[in-house]
Amino acid sequence: MNIETVKTFQSLKTPFYYYDTALLRATLQSATQEANRHGFHLHYAVKANANPRILEIIQDYGIGADCVSGNEVARAVEYGFHPDRIVYAGVGKSDDEIRLALGKDIFCFNCESLPEIEVINTLAGELGKKASIALRVNPNVDAHTHHYITTGIEENKFGFYLYDLEHAIAVCRELENIRLIGLHFHIGSQITDLTVFRGLCLRVNEIQARLKEQGIILPHVNFGGGLGINYDCPSCGLIPDFASYFQTFADFFEAQPGQQLHFELGRSLVGQCGSLVSRVLYVKEGKHKKFVILDAGMNDLLRPALYQAFHRIENLTSIQPYEKYDIVGPICESSDCFGKDRELPATRRGDLIAIRSCGAYGEVMASRYNLRDLPGSFFPE
């Protein structure tokens, strides 16, 4: 972060999310270029960050939206995403949410159960529409990521099980107001080992071969999201390796003639461009350690408390000498801790602290716990 930016921060009310829009644009440029190289369709997983300014920038790259609630569908449309590039997933879509999405004529509902599909069929009939749907399939592939963000193994609530698939397809074909157009997969998030995606491709190949034997070929396959980012090594590059990610699907997935591939990336598009900027309220000397107490808490950034997630922490206004601190927030919980035994330059009251790589699942997961204000956001342009 350059000196001018830090000077600007001095005058702002903390805590706030700072978004490096130049980095966001460079990331989007790389992702779209690599997806386009293979003719793949890219959707942005709005759940990662629904800040209006972020959405406006992303839609400008011709990317579609992946939504998980009626409000996300409405917001995506409001900030420029074209409905015919919007997909809508989620195990618990309410009737009102389904009506809203039908009313906007979105591209596809990613469906997770037969009762849900029957409701979509009924509501579509009432509105005189035909809903395009894809079946979310639980491929039973382990993403080897944090337990809470693994979604593609059989103990998870997501998707149709493999043994149910043909039955589900047969039911869909009977429903008058449903058009079955594809299969959808999403096995988890923060996946940094590309061989996991290779495994997903091989599993989907098997599934397609099985369906093909029965004469079933669907025009769309959606591989979900999940590409991870580097949280701990800034010098390893802030733009994820989209080239290798998409190449994995080009190399290992056996697409049927004319079949269109879709991806729903969240974290890898927005994760690195965001930082949570906060002020030091107090430095407290404990018996065995020193605590830096920030004016940001777990209500502003939940990931460390919820997943023991690691985020780099930097002091923007002090240089040296380095000391070890626990960096904590003001919330009435011991889990309100952003980092233990972190080396920071000598830190004082009033210093500005940046918690890095918070662009994804940061601001969107903020809450008003302890009746605190929601964090603000700051964009350099």
User: Is-contact 156 133, C-beta < 8 A?
Assistant: no
Long-range CB contacts for residues 41-44, cutoff 8 Å, separation at least 24: 41/85, 41/260, 41/261, 41/262, 41/263, 42/262, 42/263, 42/265, 43/85, 43/86, 43/87, 43/262, 43/263, 43/264, 43/265, 44/264, 44/265, 44/266, 44/269, 44/270
For residues 130 and 146, which CB has a smaller minimum distance to ligand LLP in the complex?
A: 146
Least distance from C-beta 74 to ligand LLP, angstroms? Answer: 18
Interface residues for ligand LLP in 225-284 (CB under 6 A)? Answer: 225-227, 264-268
Interface residues for ligand LLP in 334-363 (CB under 6 A)? Answer: 360-361
For residues 147 and 288, which CB has a smaller minimum distance to ligand LLP in the complex?
A: 147
294 is in an annotated binding site: no
- Among candidates 231, 228, 224, which has minimal Cα distance to 242? 228
User: Is-contact 363 375, C-beta < 8 A?
Assistant: yes
Least distance from C-beta 164 to ligand LLP, angstroms? Answer: 18
User: Is-contact 162 137, C-beta < 8 A?
Assistant: yes
Interface residues for ligand LLP in 96-125 (CB under 6 A)? Answer: none
303 is in an annotated binding site: yes
Look-up: residue for tokens 């601001």? 363
For residues 351 and 363, which CB has a smaller minimum distance to ligand LLP in the complex?
A: 363
Which residue in the set 20, 34, 66, 351 belongs to the binding site for ligand LLP (CB under 6 A)?
A: 66
For residues 109 and 325, which CB has a smaller minimum distance to ligand LLP in the complex?
A: 109
- Among candidates 180, 253, 252, which has minimal Cα distance to 220? 180
For residues 67 and 331, which CB has a smaller minimum distance to ligand LLP in the complex?
A: 67
381 is in an annotated binding site: no
For residues 57 and 360, which CB has a smaller minimum distance to ligand LLP in the complex?
A: 360
152 is in an annotated binding site: no
- Among candidates 355, 376, 188, which has minimal Cα distance to 267? 188
Which residue in the set 190, 248, 278, 315 belongs to the binding site for ligand LLP (CB under 6 A)?
A: 190
Least distance from C-beta 33 to ligand LLP, angstroms? Answer: 18
Least distance from C-beta 352 to ligand LLP, angstroms? Answer: 24
Q: Does the footprint of ligand LLP cover residue 137 (CB under 6 A)?
A: no
Q: Where are the beta strands (DSSP E) in the chain?
A: 16-19, 41-45, 64-67, 86-88, 108-111, 131-138, 160-161, 178-184, 220-222, 260-265, 274-285, 290-294, 313-315, 322-328, 337-345, 352-355, 376-378
The site that binds ligand LLP (CB under 6 A) totals a number of residues, namely: 22
Rounded to an integer, what is the distance from CA 275 to the centroid of its chain? 16
Which residue in the set 28, 31, 48, 58 belongs to the binding site for ligand LLP (CB under 6 A)?
A: 48
**Pairing relation of β-strands 160-161 and 337-345?**
unpaired
For residues 24 and 265, which CB has a smaller minimum distance to ligand LLP in the complex?
A: 265
Q: Which residues bind ligand LLP (CB under 6 A)?
A: 45, 47-48, 66, 89, 149, 186, 189-190, 224-227, 264-268, 303, 307, 360-361
Residues annotated as binding site for pyridoxal 5'-phosphate? 226, 264-267, 361
